[in-house]
């Protein structure tokens, strides 16, 4: 199983949301720099981020 840090996962999400035309801006760099580094998939912190992301997607209008 591939293990990525939260910082790597955030970058992948941001890049995907921009349809691979994502350019790092100062705001995104700050967000990535605030992400905890070294945490793995399955950790309590990662599970909480996944839950928040799911809640955000479920509450978004169709």
Structure tokens at 32: 């990535």
Residue 31 pLDDT grade (very low, low, confident, very high; cuts 50, 70, 90) = low
pLDDT of residue 56: 81
pLDDT digits (tens, 9 = 90+) for 49-61: 778 878 888 887 7
Spell out the domain ranges in the chain. Answer: 6-59
pLDDT at 32: 64
């Amino acid at each position: 199983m591939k293990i990525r840090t939260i910082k790597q996962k955030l970058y992948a999400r941001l890049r995907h949301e921009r349809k691979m035309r994502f350019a790092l801006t100062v705001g995104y760099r700050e967000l990535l720099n605030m992400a905890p580094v070294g945490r793995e998939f399955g950790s309590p912190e990662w599970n909480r981020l996944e839950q928040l992301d799911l809640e955000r997607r479920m509450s978004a209008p169709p």
